[in-house]
Amino acid sequence: MATTSPRGLRTTLPARVYTDPSWFALEMERVFARMWVAVGRADALRGAGAFIRRDLAGASVLIVNGSDGVIRAFHNVCRHRGTQLCSAHDGAFRGSIQCPYHAWTYGLDGQLLAAPQMDEVDGFDRSEHPLRPMACAVWDGHVFINLGDAPEPLASQLGDLPARFAPWRMQDLSLAKRIEYDIATNWKLVVQNYNECLHCPVIHPLLNQMHHYLGAANVPSTGTYCGGAMGFKDGVETLSTDGKRRRAFLPGLSAADRALVNYFAIYPNFLLTLHPDYMMTITIWPVDPGRTRLIAEWHFHPAEMAKPDFVCADAIEFWDRTNREDWAISEQSYQGISSRGYQPGPYSERETQLWEFDQFVLARMRHGDAETPR
C-alpha cells in the first residue's frame, strides 16, 4: 500500500483504511486486541470491588479492584450461559460478582465461588470456570489492559515514557472532571488531528493565542508513540480560558517543564496532555469505521483540590471548547475521505508525525507486530 507519491511526496492513506468495515475489523484484531490500551485511572478504582467497564474490539471488559488491592481485568461474560454480568459503566461490587440470570457467583479475583445446580453435574469442576481474565497493568496511575494471549510487558510498549514523565508524578493526581464525546469519524483521524498544530490558526482561535502553531519541539517517533512539547506565547502560563494559571505548578517539575505543554499520542488509544498545573487524558474507543467514542478527563493535584479556593473550570472549558473544534473538523475530514472524490494527498514537513503514525498502523496490519517506521 503506497504511502508516497511517484514524486516521493509522503501522502495520506487510501480511503478504505478509514472507511472499509473489513479493514476496521482487522484493525481491532491486530492493533487494539494485541496492544496495551489505556482504560482509565487507578484513581477510579479505589477500594475492594470498585470497577469500571470498557467495551473494546468486540469485548466487554470489567476492570476490578480486588480484596488484595490488585487491579484485574475480566471479560464481562458469565461462564454459564454467557449473560453480560454488568450493564453499568462503573460502580462497586460488594465482595463478589454475581450473574443476574442464574446467580453464578465469582470472587473479585474471578474465581467461580458458586454455581447453583452445577455441583451435582458429573464432570463439572468450579475451578475450571473462572471469569476469563486478560492482562492488566498500571503505569503511574494509568491502567492498561491487553486482550492478547501472551502480551509483551507494558513496559516494552511504553519504552522511555515512564522515565520521561516521572517528574509529573502522575500517579498522585486526582480526577476532577470527565466528559464523554461520541463523534462521527474514524479513530485514526482523532490521533492525526492531535499530532499537528498546522490547523490551529484556522480551527482554534483561543488555543492559537496560547501557543505558536509552528512552535512544537517533537521527539523522534517510536513504533508505539509520538509526541512533543509546545511553549507558551508571552504572558501565557498554562492552557486556560485566559492563559492564566490558577493552581500551583505540579510538584517535581523543572523550570523548563513549567514552561511547556507535552502532547503525546501513545498508540493506539491514549492522548496524554501534560500542563504545568494539570493533566488531561483522552482515551479513544473505536465503535465502527465512522464512529468513535472519546473519554476526556481532567486531573489535578490533590493538594490543590483540597484548597477552599480551588477552581478548574478555566482549564476544562478551554479544552472542552478546543476538543469540540477538533471533533467537528475530524468529522468533516471523514466526510471528505468517505466520498468518491478523495485521493491520498501530500503531507507537509509539519505533518511528519502523521505519516509515521500511518506507517505504524500499516506495519501492525501487515504483521501484527510492532515495528519502528523510521
Residue (32 or 278) nearer to a copy of itself, CB: 32
Residues 132-171 that bind a copy of itself (CB under 8 A): 132, 147
* 85 touching a copy of itself, by CB under 8 A: yes
* 89 touching a copy of itself, by CB under 8 A: no
* 205 touching a copy of itself, by CB under 8 A: no
Q: Which of 156, 254, 335, 372 binds a copy of itself (CB under 8 A)?
A: 335
Q: Which of 222, 283, 292, 333 binds a copy of itself (CB under 8 A)?
A: 333
Rounded CA gap, 296 and 292, in Å?
13
The helix-helix angle for 187-194 and 352-367 (nearest 10°) equals 150
Q: Which of 1, 70, 88, 103 binds a copy of itself (CB under 8 A)?
A: 103
Residue (195 or 281) nearer to a copy of itself, CB: 195
φ and ψ at residue 362, rounded to 5 degrees: -60, -40
Rounded CA gap, 116 and 121, in Å?
10
Rounded CA gap, 313 and 94, in Å?
34
Residue (153 or 336) nearer to a copy of itself, CB: 336
Stretch that binds a copy of itself, among 51-59, 172-180, 224-232, 298-306 (CB under 8 A): 51-59
Stretch that binds a copy of itself, among 169-177, 285-293, 306-314, 333-341 (CB under 8 A): 333-341
φ and ψ at residue 122, rounded to 5 degrees: -60, 125
The least CB distance from residue 88 to a copy of itself, in Å, is 12
Total residues interacting with a copy of itself, rule: CB under 8 A: 64
Rounded CA gap, 297 and 170, in Å?
13
For 181-231, the DSSP string reads EEESS-HHHHHHHHT--TTHHHH-TTGGGTS-TT-EEEPPP-SSEEEEEEE
Contacts 24+ apart (CB under 8 A), 210-215: 210/236, 210/239, 210/243, 211/261, 214/350
- 156 Cβ partners below 8 Å, 6+ apart? none
Q: Which of 2, 47, 68, 123 binds a copy of itself (CB under 8 A)?
A: 123
Stretch that binds a copy of itself, among 80-88, 257-265, 310-318, 360-368 (CB under 8 A): 80-88
Q: Which of 15, 92, 184, 236 binds a copy of itself (CB under 8 A)?
A: 15
Stretch that binds a copy of itself, among 3-11, 39-47, 251-259, 287-295 (CB under 8 A): 3-11
Q: Which three cell numbers stand for residue 139?
A: 503505569
Q: Which three cell numbers stand for residue 28?
A: 481491532
Rounded CA gap, 175 and 177, in Å?
6
Longest CA–CA span in the chain (Å) reads: 76
- For binding to a copy of itself (CB under 8 A), which residues are involved? 5, 7-9, 12, 15, 33, 55, 57-61, 74-85, 87, 100-103, 116-118, 120-124, 129, 132, 147, 192, 198-199, 201-203, 329, 332-333, 335-337, 339-346, 348-350
